[in-house]
Amino acid sequence: MRILITGGAGYIGSHVAKALIERGGCELSILDNLSTGSQATLEALARMGSFQFFHNDLSNKEALSEIFSRNRFDLILHFAASVEVFESVQNPLKYYFNNTLNTAQLLDVALEYGVKKLIFSSTAAVYGEPREIPKEGIDEEHPLKPINPYGQSKIMSERIIQDVARAHPDFKFVILRYFNVAGADLQGRIGQATPKATHLIKIAAECASLKRPWMEIYGEDYPTPDGSCVRDYIHVEDLAQAHVRAMEYLIRGASSDIFNCGYGRGYSVKEVVQKSKEVSGVDFEVRMGGKRAGDPAILVAQSAKIREKMGWEPLYDDLALIIKSAYEWERGRW
Ligand code: UFG
């Protein structure tokens, strides 16, 4: 399999690149504009195995076509995107350009050069504020009503991919809707290197590593048991394996489909902060802040579909382990 990973120098893309290197049997190419992805991540990956690297932005169609004209790809894993909910509220056009338009552009070039398989990084943000919260979590059929431009930009991308597949019956896709991804490579070689990341477990790991003096909890009057938001945190290694399964699923000719990636268990912001203090043994300062725009109260996945149809079985469904791997990587990072 000749695979192109867009955004492969970024957080999730690099963990998937690592999983594919470890799996073997793939010829990997990574395309990244290094806006949030890092050179150091690429160097760490290069110590694990070989790949081609294209320093490119998806908005540059000429350069993209040039890459596709010189290389054949059997499958694309498309991670390159902007991913911060709050930023998307402040700067929506960045999200529509980077996420929606660049996905259309990538598809256009992929079709032109005969690529027939795509795995797309989508998000739980497409569901918005769940109408009612079923005990077993939100399934893939739940209404799509995003409450922030990030979720909108990803839904539009999903629809574009679905329309393309309808128009080209031999084009197959898997869309993975990620819940809250956290943690790092368990051997500490790569992690969430994203500069100025705003994700909860990353921020708590920075506080525990004394790189940040304090953190805030954004809102404590949500309709949740302790008033802070509830999320379904999934270890990045388990998510990476979901991509390996998705690739194998497409190779065996299964039909295009959409899958949630989460554990089906929610933790509140306060629980995550408390667990971060326990795991690190550092009692860092936490302040109560106001609500952050764009945050739904609860997002928990139902993940029965991916388990049944792809045989995905998570190995690290353990909040303490997720936090520990993020913290250890943060402490020891380059
Ligand atoms: N939070 C804080 N303090 C912080 C950082 C976050 O209280 O310093 C809170 C947020 O308000 C939210 C929760 O922690 O309630 C989780 O926030 P994150 O920023 O870690 O993640 P989000 O839930 O906003 O979004 C993430 C990804 C999205 C994805 C979504 C799916 O960034 O790409 O999970 O649930 F869509």
Ligand 1 site, residue 301, Cβ cutoff 6 A:
no
Q: How far is the CA of 227 from the centre of ligand 1 (A)?
A: 15
Residue 285: both structure tokens together: 């300062």
Ligand 1 site, residue 123, Cβ cutoff 6 A:
yes
Pocket-testing residue among 36, 147, 218, ligand 1, by greatest number of atoms within 8 A of Cβ:
218
Q: How many CB atoms lie within 10 A of CB 24?
A: 7
Q: How many CB atoms lie within 10 A of CB 322?
A: 28
Q: Whose CA is nearest to atom 19 of ligand 1?
A: 199
At residue 231, the pLDDT reads 96
At residue 136, the pLDDT reads 79
Q: Whose CA is nearest to atom 12 of ligand 1?
A: 229
At residue 99, the pLDDT reads 98
Low-confidence ranges of the chain (pLDDT < 50): none
Q: How far is the CA of 334 from the centre of ligand 1 (A)?
A: 25
Check: pTM over 0.85? Answer yes or no: yes
- The question of whether 233 is a catalytic residue gets the answer no
| CA 224 centroid distance within chain | 25
How far is the C-alpha of 183 from the C-alpha of 191, rounded, in Å? 7
* H-helix segments, the chain: 11-23, 39-46, 61-70, 85-90, 92-95, 102-112, 149-167, 200-208, 236-251, 269-280, 304-310, 319-332
Q: How far is the CA of 286 from the centre of ligand 1 (A)?
A: 16
Ligand 1 site, residue 198, Cβ cutoff 6 A:
yes
How far is the C-alpha of 236 from the C-alpha of 202, rounded, in Å? 12
At residue 333, the pLDDT reads 75
How far is the C-alpha of 140 from the C-alpha of 233, rounded, in Å? 17
Ligand 1 site, residue 83, Cβ cutoff 6 A:
yes
What sign for the dihedral angle of Cα 289, 321, 319, 293? positive
Model pLDDT for residues 267-289, shown as the tens digit of each residue: 999 999 999 999 999 999 999 99
At residue 37, the pLDDT reads 95
Asked if 228 and 219 count as a contact pair (C-beta separation under 8 A), the reply is: yes
Q: Give CATH for domain 2-182+233-262.
A: 3.40.50.720
Ligand 1 site, residue 220, Cβ cutoff 6 A:
no
Establish how many alpha carbons lie within 13 A of residue 243's alpha carbon, considering only the half-sphere containing its beta carbon: 29
Rounded to 5°, angle at Cα 85 from 79 and 90: 120
Ligand 1 site, residue 67, Cβ cutoff 6 A:
no
Asked if 3 and 74 count as a contact pair (C-beta separation under 8 A), the reply is: yes
Residue spans of the domains in the chain: they are 2-182+233-262
Which is the closest atom of ligand 1 to the Cα of 291? Answer: 11
Q: Is 29 helix (H, G, I), strand (E, B) or coil?
A: strand
Q: How far is the CA of 91 from the centre of ligand 1 (A)?
A: 17
Ligand 1 site, residue 138, Cβ cutoff 6 A:
no
At residue 90, the pLDDT reads 96
Q: How far is the CA of 46 from the centre of ligand 1 (A)?
A: 31
At residue 128, the pLDDT reads 87
Model pLDDT for residues 218-272, shown as the tens digit of each residue: 999 999 999 999 999 999 999 999 999 999 999 999 999 999 999 999 999 999 9
At residue 334, the pLDDT reads 58
List of residues 6+ apart from 208 with CB closer than 8 A: 276, 277, 279, 280, 282, 284, 327, 330, 331
